[in-house]
Structure 1
């Protein structure tokens, strides 16, 4: 957990981590899931200095969504998630691409 986190976020982190471990996830992966979820919730609540566009715009909170769009499932990642990945990889023309084009450009 980042320094200066509230006790509520510390409890939330532990709760998510323990739940993931009970489901058979490795300790390392459980910590990652918990940290990502808590950080996203902090961003949505305005408790962090920076927040990604998808953290702020997503209509469902990360905990309510339950991994629905974690790069698998029927819809896979959202267009915004693909766009962010393309931006990090510096893919040219990404702003005018749709979801399918972004997937292809990322090699999915």
Structure 2
């Protein structure tokens, strides 16, 4: 009977159940007793982190997001940084790529 209770506690702790809830399920009056008894079964911080990250990857879609899936942006006409033909701060963009003072 003890082995079954121990197994039950270990399964719940591994699944992330709280000590307080486990204490109630096992009929313990003090969650501190449950913690002292089953603390060696609690997953480590490293183990919880690994499990959380693994579940994130398993939940992601199976689509391939490799380099072949990127779509090319449509080409811009030369000398046109913006639809108005002006770059940042009102500068005019010339075909040579040089920046000049924009005229208002």
The TM-score, its normalising length taken from structure 2, stands at 0.22
Task: Please identify the structure whose Cα radius of gyration is greater.
Answer: 2
Q: Would you tell me which structure has more helix in proportion to its own residues?
A: 1
